[in-house]
Amino acid sequence: MSDLQDIVTIDGPSGVGKSTISRRTAAALGFTYLDTGAMYRAVAWFLESEQVDVTDETAVQKSLESLEIELLPAADEMSDVGVRVAGKDVSREIRMPEMSMAASRVSALNVVRKRLTAMQQEIGRRGKIVAEGRDTGTVVFPDAAYKFYLDADPGERARRRVAQLREKGEVQDEAEVLAMILERDKNDSERELAPLAVAADAVVIDTTKISINEVGRAILDSIRKKKG
Ligand code: DC
């Protein structure tokens, strides 16, 4: 890997504000934002569209041979990055709540992780990236120079997610969103391979009581201080 000095990793559970923070951090540094979750979502969408039995790893592996993922830059600071799978724009589909759970499920498969980790490391080889996910600081870029782990109280994460959806005109029940968050946390942190975990050298930021702006500032301050 060429320039790990130029890699920032931001990990944490779902609904903690990672995407917004990662996009802003990337914009402030002039780095590329790498949304690894979007890649797991794209795989989940692909396997579903191909009607692959995800309990059959051999079938999944075979199907992944023809997988082509293309990440599309976010339209603006507020938008998620887009994804094209085999030439089809599935940016909207992959953000549906059922795709969140499907992505969490397929992300436990060894063949999926191996494939996506290799793709992510290839993108990282060019340097100057802000990688966001669950294992970017622990497994994908263990030698990254700047690692962050964001956390927040699950109730607060559910409230934020509901507010975010409301802004997009979608109404969701907070208790249901909380249940999904807790289930995904459990899946993502208890799986055997590359579980959600805090890297030993990560800066941990609890975002429960602080604003997105404050989190963004804390991250940039920490990077600048370390850079010297
Ligand atoms: O960050 P997200 O909600 O878009 O991620 C969707 C799912 O993908 C998440 O529940 C677990 C999985 N994922 C992963 O296993 N490793 C990553 N680095 C990123 C996401």
* Predicted local confidence at residue 28, as pLDDT: 95
User: What CA–CA distances, in Å, run from 205 to 16, 150, 181, 195?
Assistant: 10, 5, 19, 19
Q: Which residues are CB-contacts of 155 (< 8 A; sequence separation ≥ 6)?
A: 178
User: What CA–CA distances, in Å, run from 149 to 72, 97, 120, 122, 207?
Assistant: 25, 23, 18, 23, 10
- The pLDDT-based confidence of 2 (bands split at 50, 70, 90) is very low
Residue closest by Cα to atom 11 of ligand 1? 104
Q: What is the 3-state secondary structure (H, E, C) of 22-77?
A: HHHHHHHHCCEEEEHHHHHHHHHHHHHHCCCCCCCHHHHHHHHCCCCEEEECCCCC
* Predicted local confidence at residue 1, as pLDDT: 42
> In this structure, what CATH number is given to the domain that contains residue 88?
3.40.50.300
Record the pTM: 0.95
What six digits make up the tokens of 69?
Answer: 């993922």
* Contact 103 CB / ligand 1 (< 6 Å): yes
Residue closest by Cα to atom 2 of ligand 1? 37
Task: Kindly report, residue by residue over 73-130, the tens digit of the pLDDT.
Answer: 887 777 889 999 999 999 999 998 899 999 999 999 999 999 999 999 999 998 999 9
118 C-alpha to ligand 1 centroid (Å): 16
* Predicted local confidence at residue 79, as pLDDT: 81
Residue closest by Cα to atom 4 of ligand 1? 37
- The pLDDT-based confidence of 4 (bands split at 50, 70, 90) is low
Number of separate domains in the chain: 1
Domain ranges, residue 62: 5-227
* Predicted local confidence at residue 164, as pLDDT: 85
* Contact 117 CB / ligand 1 (< 6 Å): no
User: In this model, does residue 179 exceed pLDDT 90?
Assistant: yes
* Predicted local confidence at residue 3, as pLDDT: 52
* Predicted local confidence at residue 141, as pLDDT: 97
150 C-alpha to ligand 1 centroid (Å): 14
Q: Which is nearest to 113 in space by CA: 140, 152, 94? A: 140
User: In this model, does residue 200 exceed pLDDT 60?
Assistant: yes
DSSP state letters, 175-214: HHHHHHHHHHHHHHHHSSSS-S---TTPEEEE-TTS-HHH
- Residues 198 and 65: their CA atoms lie apart, in Å, by 32
163 C-alpha to ligand 1 centroid (Å): 21
Judged on CB neighbours under 10 Å (0-12, 13-18, 19+), 8 is buried
